[in-house]
Structures are given as C-alpha cells and as structure tokens.
Amino acid sequence: MAVRAVRGAVQLERDESAHMHDQVGELLTAVLERNGLTADDLISVWFTATPDLHADFPAAAARKLGIVDVPLICAQELDIAGAMPRVVRVLAHVETGLAKSEISHVYLGAAAALRKDIAQ
C-alpha cells in the first residue's frame, strides 16, 4: 500500500449548515467511491472553506458520515479578489494500491472549473 493524496472541491449554493453537510458529504462519498476506498483507508483529511462560509465546519459532515476515527482539520482559504465563492476543498491522505496517475480527483458542479486539468 502506498500513501496518496486525493483532492476535491464543491461549491455551495448557500451558507447553511445542513446544505454544507449534504454537499461535503456528497463530495467525500464521491472521493471514496471513485477511488475504491473506504473510511478505513483514510489517514487524514484537510478541509478548507472560503471566508464567506460561516455556518459550520466542513469536518462535521465527515463525522455525520461515520468518519470518526480519522484526524480531520479545517482551515480558511485565502481571501483572494475574484475567487470562486462558497467553496469547500478537501485534501485526503489515503492508503491505496492505486498509482498516482490512477487517483480520481473529484470536483463537483461548478467547482470543476477550479482544476480542469485534474477534475474527473
């Protein structure tokens, strides 16, 4: 098994806790499914949120999914003029047999525009 990093992002429609939980939950589920992973394969997960998101911690969505024994951390994205608003990004460190080139990075909805080079 190798340690790999998986990236992803989702743009929220509004700054509400339930909406954040739904969207971040969908993102994490897609990251796991598209890479053939389970929660046991997670080493740690880093979340960032744009400065316009205040309703909740993105990591709370992971806990709702049952990811309870994995270190999670949240941070704020840089406040850059013109940046896409209401975005939650994820960087998951995982144990997997996949090669780097086989990792599926997940950018849902409008967030796909953030990384057209790796979004799948």
Q: pLDDT (tens digit, 9 = 90+) per residue, 38-48?
A: 999 999 999 99
Confidence category of residue 120, pLDDT binned at 50, 70, 90? low
Confidence category of residue 119, pLDDT binned at 50, 70, 90? low
Determine whether 63 is an active site residue. Answer: yes
Determine whether 34 is an active site residue. Answer: no
* This model's pTM is above 0.85: yes
Q: pLDDT (tens digit, 9 = 90+) per residue, 62-88?
A: 999 999 999 999 999 999 999 999 999
Determine whether 4 is an active site residue. Answer: no
Q: Characterize the bridge pairing of strands 87-96 and 2-11.
A: antiparallel
Asked if 32 and 39 count as a contact pair (C-beta separation under 8 A), the reply is yes
Choice among 13, 14, 33, 63 that is catalytic: 63
Determine whether 14 is an active site residue. Answer: no
